[in-house]
């Protein structure tokens, strides 16, 4: 039996769907402890205990989509819309680089117009130029065409995050208007992969109507689609959305529990991928991100967006660190990471080992 596992079954990559459901639903603290310990062991073995930072800049809340759960959806007229200037985004990227974060995530609402595509291309090029190619760039800009993904890759981005939100198609349809098509997301993930990105996806946990069996299927989806990076977090209500009524059933303790257990199970099943401890965990518990690292995550995404924009980029209520600038955030994070005896992979991209493994297997790179 592996490590300190006292369970009557192995916690390994072949966990069955029934076992995953059982582990998501258990009321036994000893079983949960064994799960987290095993996940940490698998993380240490396959990706190490260094935490890699991606400084995230949420540069625009303009969005053409209308996802029912999201605070910056198109129909929310109470949001002040903004887009940061090219200069301000580049300045934020240089701060990230100068402070040794290694990588940056550019995230925004979704736009597909030519003006936006060119804007992002210029920003990415400039960031690469000004850092002599040293800054790693991840994009999280929604559904685009294969041509757009190629254009941004050529400009210098090399990782892309696009969550499927849920692998249950019927549930996806309940959470989105009719013209939001889950098959487009799947096509986008395929294009991203064939263009050569490190591909990240993820889901929300604890969505209304979502079952533990759905979450087990989500993990199977990540595995079957050979995903390199996972960014997932608990669903949190936003009061100005059509799903605001779900607040009456909202149980933050269960949301956090699901968030952490999903990280642990995904680590055990997928082993060598990058997994982020996302901000939504911290919104539910001040130590949420550290708990995420202890449950098997190895990536943190400190928010580097200028504080003056943060209240306009609230995807959900209670987003933490709304008034902490990047420098305060950096010092706070260092202390948090030291508190759990991990180190920060400064100045490194911290790419997903899984990406290199799958590329080696298909003979696309030789190391």
The contact set with ligand SAH (CB under 6 A) reads 69-70, 107, 109-110, 140, 142, 162-163, 165, 204, 233, 235-236, 238, 280, 315-316
Q: Are 126 and 105 in contact (CB under 8 A)?
A: no
Compute the C-alpha angle 243/323/263, nearest 5°: 55
3-state secondary structure string, 32-91? Answer: HHHHHHHHHHHHHHHCCCEEEEEEEEEEECCCCCCCCCCCCCCCCCCCCCCECCHHHHHH
Closest distance of CB 344 from ligand SAH, Å: 24
Closest distance of CB 162 from ligand SF4, Å: 10
Q: Residue 12 corresponds to which tokens in the numbers above?
A: 């390994």
Q: Where are the beta strands (DSSP E) in 142-195?
A: 159-161
Closest distance of CB 336 from ligand SF4, Å: 27
Residue from the set 23, 24, 67, 237 that interacts with ligand SF4 by CB under 6 A: 67
Residue 41 or residue 278: which is nearer to ligand SAH going by CB?
Answer: 278
Residue 157 or residue 236: which is nearer to ligand SAH going by CB?
Answer: 236
Phi-psi region of 48 (alpha: psi -120 to 50; beta: other; left: phi over 0): left
Residue from the set 38, 65, 238, 267 that interacts with ligand SF4 by CB under 6 A: 65
Give the one entry of ligand SAH, ligand SF4, none that residue 195 binds, where binding means its C-beta sits below a cut-off of 5 to 8 angstroms depending on kind: none
Which neighbouring-strand residues pair with 229?
Answer: 200, 274
- Separation CA 299–CA 263 (nearest Å): 12
Residue from the set 73, 128, 238, 319 that interacts with ligand SF4 by CB under 6 A: 73
Report how many residues bind ligand SF4 under the rule CB under 6 A: 10
Residue from the set 55, 93, 136, 142 that interacts with ligand SF4 by CB under 6 A: 142
Residue 142 or residue 302: which is nearer to ligand SF4 going by CB?
Answer: 142
Give the one entry of ligand SF4, ligand SAH, none that residue 73 binds, where binding means its C-beta sits below a cut-off of 5 to 8 angstroms depending on kind: ligand SF4
Q: Is 130 helix (H, G, I), strand (E, B) or coil?
A: helix
Closest distance of CB 33 from ligand SAH, Å: 27
Residue 42 or residue 281: which is nearer to ligand SAH going by CB?
Answer: 281
Q: Is 289 helix (H, G, I), strand (E, B) or coil?
A: helix
Q: Does 106 bind ligand SF4 (CB under 6 A)?
A: no
Q: Where are the beta strands (DSSP E) in the chain?
A: 50-60, 103-108, 136-140, 159-161, 198-201, 204-205, 229-234, 274-277, 299-300, 343-344
Q: Are 279 and 320 in contact (CB under 8 A)?
A: yes
Footprint on residues 242-281 left by ligand SF4 (CB under 6 A) = none
- Within 13 Å of residue 305, how many CA atoms lie on the same side as its CB? 27
Binding span for ligand SF4 by CB under 6 A among 47-55, 59-67, 122-130, 352-360: 59-67
Q: Does 319 bind ligand SF4 (CB under 6 A)?
A: no
Q: What residue ranges bind ligand SF4 (CB under 6 A)?
A: 63, 65, 67, 70, 72-73, 109-110, 142, 315
């Amino acid at each position: 039996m592996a490590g300190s596992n006292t369970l009557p079954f192995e916690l390994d990559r072949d966990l069955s769907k029934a076992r995953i459901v059982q582990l998501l639903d258990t009321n036994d603290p000893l079983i949960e402890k064994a799960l987290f310990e095993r996940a940490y062991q698998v993380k240490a073995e396959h990706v190490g205990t260094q935490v890699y930072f991606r400084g995230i800049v949420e540069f625009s809340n303009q969005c053409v989509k209308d996802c029912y759960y999201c605070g910056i959806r198109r129909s929310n007229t109470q949001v002040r819309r903004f887009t940061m200037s090219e200069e301000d985004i580049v300045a934020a990227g240089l701060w990230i680089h100068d402070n040794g974060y290694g990588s940056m995530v550019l995230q925004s609402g979704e736009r597909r117009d030519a003006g936006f595509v060119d804007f992002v291309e210029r920003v990415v090029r400039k960031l690469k130029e000004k850092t002599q190619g040293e800054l790693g760039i991840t994009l999280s800009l929604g559904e685009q065409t294969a041509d757009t993904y190629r254009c941004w890759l050529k400009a210098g981005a090399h990782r892309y995050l696009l969550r499927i939100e849920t692998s249950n198609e019927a549930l996806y349809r309940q959470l989105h208007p009719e013209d939001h098509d889950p098959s487009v997301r799947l096509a986008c993930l395929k294009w991203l992969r064939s263009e050569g990105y490190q591909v990240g996806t993820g889901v929300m946990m604890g969505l209304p109507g979502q079952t533990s069996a759905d979450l087990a299927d989500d993990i199977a989806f990540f595995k079957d689609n050979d995903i390199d990076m996972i960014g997932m977090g608990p669903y949190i209500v936003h009061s100005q959305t059509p799903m605001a009524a779900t607040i009456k059933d909202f149980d933050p303790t269960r949301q956090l529990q699901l968030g952490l257990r999903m990280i642990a199970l995904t680590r055990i099943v997928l082993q060598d991928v990058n997994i982020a401890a996302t901000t939504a965990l911290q919104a539910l518990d001040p130590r949420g991100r550290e708990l995420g690292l202890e449950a098997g995550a190895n990536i943190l995404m400190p928010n580097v967006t200028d504080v003056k924009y943060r209240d306009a980029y609230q995807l959900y209520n209670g987003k933490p660190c709304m008034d902490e600038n990047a420098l305060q955030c950096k010092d706070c994070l260092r202390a948090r990471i030291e508190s759990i005896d991990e180190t920060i992979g400064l100045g490194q991209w911290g790419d997903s080992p899984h990406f290199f493994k799958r590329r080696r297997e298909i003979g696309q790179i030789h190391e």
